[in-house]
């Protein structure tokens, strides 16, 4: 006997396909949501890690800025101290300058020359005095030029004068004193000690 299926099988088949489609669509939506959630979580993790790295770098950069500022301040302090040291060394080297000047003048002034005044302005020294003749002034200038402490004698003026009924030559003379550097100061001190013996 032949069986005839009178049920609407096409509609049932369509209904089954529709259910499969909805189930598949739901699974795709759930899968897409899951992928989106995983991507969002991973990206947020990367952003959080980068934010922590950025904060760490900013903190370290701030520390380095403070250290650089401290180094710059120390460099300023060092340069100021070196400048003070240089000034003190210069003063130390030139503290006996007056003594050397008078010693050298006493050695170099020839007989018949008398000093009336000595003025010093920096390294320049002005000598005013009397000489028995113009030749004595020339001798004085040659002696001063040959001196290791004094240099460049420059005659400003010489004129004849009568002092205590004696005819003398009044002269005005500029010389420069050789400033000692800090390396020369110990040598000069040793020479001065050697000269006193």
pLDDT mean by block of 10 residues, the chain; 197 residues = 68 88 94 94 92 94 94 94 87 72 78 82 82 82 79 81 80 78 49 45
Give the count of beta carbons closer than 10 Å to the beta carbon of residue 95.
11
**CA–CA gap between residue 192 and residue 97 (Å, rounded):** 12
Q: Where are the domains of the chain?
A: 59-95, 96-196
**CA–CA gap between residue 72 and residue 44 (Å, rounded):** 41
Residue 94, pLDDT score? 66
What is the CB-side half-sphere exposure of residue 82 using CA atoms within 13 A? Answer: 6
* 129 neighbors 116 (Cβ within 8 angstroms): yes
Residue 126, pLDDT score? 86
Q: Which of 195, 188, 136 lies closest to 173, judged by CA?
A: 136
Q: Is 162 helix (H, G, I), strand (E, B) or coil?
A: strand
User: Tell me, what DSSP letter sits at residue 163?
Assistant: E
Q: Which fold has domain 96-196?
A: Gyrase A; domain 2 (3.30.1360)
Residue 132, pLDDT score? 81
Residue 124, pLDDT score? 84
Residue 156, pLDDT score? 81
Rounded to 10°, the helix 184-196/97-108 angle is 50
**CA–CA gap between residue 84 and residue 75 (Å, rounded):** 14
* 154 neighbors 123 (Cβ within 8 angstroms): no
* 192 neighbors 100 (Cβ within 8 angstroms): yes
Q: What is the distance of C-alpha 175 from the center of its chain?
A: 36
The residue to which tokens 């009178």 are assigned: 6
Residue 113, pLDDT score? 83
Residue 6, pLDDT score? 63
Residue 82, pLDDT score? 93
């Amino acid at each position: 006997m032949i069986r005839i299926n009178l049920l609407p099988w096409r509609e049932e088949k369509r209904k089954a396909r529709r259910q499969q489609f909805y189930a598949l669509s739901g699974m795709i939506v759930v899968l897409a949501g899951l992928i989106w959630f995983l991507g969002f979580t991973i990206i947020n993790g990367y952003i959080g890690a980068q934010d922590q790295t950025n904060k760490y770098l900013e903190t370290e950069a701030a520390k380095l800025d403070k250290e650089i500022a401290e180094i710059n301040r120390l460099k300023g302090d060092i340069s100021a101290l070196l400048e003070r040291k240089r000034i003190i060394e210069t003063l130390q080297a030139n503290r006996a300058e007056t003594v050397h000047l008078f010693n050298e003048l006493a050695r170099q002034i020839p007989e018949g020359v008398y000093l009336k005044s000595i003025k010093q302005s920096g390294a320049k020294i002005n000598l005013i005095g009397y000489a028995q003749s113009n030749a004595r002034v020339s001798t004085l200038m040659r002696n001063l030029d040959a001196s290791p402490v004094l240099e460049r004698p420059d005659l400003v003026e010489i004129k004849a004068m009568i002092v205590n009924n004696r005819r003398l030559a009044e002269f005005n003379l500029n010389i420069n004193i050789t400033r000692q550097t800090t390396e020369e100061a110990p040598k000069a001190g040793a020479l001065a000690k050697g000269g006193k013996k």
